[in-house]
Amino acid sequence: MILADTDILARLAEGDLVIDPLDDVDTQVQPASVDLRLGSEFLEFRRTNIPCIHPNDAREVDEYVEETHVPEGDDFILHPGDFVLGTTKETVAIPDDIVAHVEGRSSLGRLAVVVHATAGLCDPGYEGQITLELSNLGNAPVALSPGMRVSQLTFTELKSPADRPYGAERGSKYQGQTGPQASRIGDDPEFAPGSDGAATTDADDGAGS
């Protein structure tokens, strides 16, 4: 069951679903979603001459990105073809019986800006800010202003609470994250020394996770 506005407000009032700060309830709470605003930190991907990036080499990943801070009142210019990591201004906490989905706002979609490449899921139990995968698919640069509503969360109630929610028990990599976080795929068990490549049970590749 997807939560409607009355359900979202009720869960927020109960305190198990958290969106903080939620400064303008009337504007941000939509009929079946909550609008989230753009934060001030961005991770930009440098032009590089290395043959490739090895996901299991944290040094290579770190050298590939650089952090940019844009204060509210200024703009971050997202050029055609660019891919950057941004973050929500809000911190969320998702209860164990809800899964949240990150969606783009249609007004930005009509400017050819998308907010996630593939990581559109916030697992039950996730807490932290949400990393956004921002791309400009159009032909003109687009100015993104910290504080603007840039994405929205929808919430689906599970048939039963997750038995092993996202968090420390699972060794989840991005729990409690603040600001945009680069890939930590190198921490996956299949990249551990001596691993036989067996699949991990920690499904933690969502938007916040």
Which residues carry out catalysis? 133
132 is in an annotated binding site: yes
173 is in an annotated binding site: yes
> Is there a contact between 148 and 99 (Cβ–Cβ < 8 Å)?
no
133 is in an annotated binding site: yes
166 is in an annotated binding site: yes
Q: Which of 66, 67, 26 is nearest to 149 (CA)?
A: 26
CA-based angle 15:167:186, to the nearest 5? 145
105 is in an annotated binding site: yes
123 is in an annotated binding site: yes
Alpha-carbon distance of 184 to 186, in angstroms, equals 5
**What is the β-pairing status of strands 29-30 and 33-37?**
antiparallel
Helix (H) or strand (E) holding 11: helix 5-14
179 is in an annotated binding site: no
Q: Which amino acids are annotated as binding site for dCTP, given as ranges?
A: 105-110, 123, 131-133, 152, 166, 173, 177
Q: Which amino acids are annotated as binding site, given as ranges?
A: 105-110, 123, 131-133, 152, 166, 173, 177
